Amino acid sequence: MSRRPIWLRAGLLYLAYVNLSVGLWATVAPRSFYEDFPGAGRVWVATDGPFNEHLVRDVGAWSLGMAVVVVAALWTLSRPLVVTAGAAMAVLALPHAIYHSFHADLLGSGLDQALSIGGLYLAVAVGLAVAVAALRSGPVPAPD
């Protein structure tokens, strides 16, 4: 998988960025993540129940773990690893997106709803696109 389209690398880079930024923030500063995510004066987490440090840190660690897989896929561009990273991202993001779709009223404004839910479904779509592109890329080269 040495010659991949630039958009495949961009998709993996996007997934790495999303998981690293959420993961680091939620793990290192869970109260801030709860009260201030996504930033810029918007609040998306605190609207959905009381603060639970354990839960927020778990979400952070889950995102960091996913980031490790995505960064490894980006680094190696190994077909099996790229497929796995894309599929794993879609699998973890889809239930999250569905939950927020059914609880969009907690976010208040239509803009916050569109940004939050749209971003969640974007992660699903990018994960699926990356996985499908890697699956369709042809045979896996023999190891060196």
Task: For residue range 10-65, list pLDDT tens digits in order.
Answer: 999 999 999 999 999 999 999 999 999 998 888 888 888 999 999 999 999 999 99
Contacts 24+ apart (CB under 8 A), 47-56: 47/106, 47/107, 47/108, 48/103, 48/106, 56/26, 56/30, 56/31
- For residue 131, being part of any structural domain is answered with yes
Which pLDDT band, with edges at 50, 70 and 90, does 110 fall under? confident
Q: What is the model's pLDDT at position 4? A: 58
Which pLDDT band, with edges at 50, 70 and 90, does 142 fall under? very low
Q: How many domains does the chain have?
A: 1
* pTM of the predicted protein model: 0.86
Domain range for 76 is 6-135
- For residue 140, being part of any structural domain is answered with no
- For residue 1, being part of any structural domain is answered with no
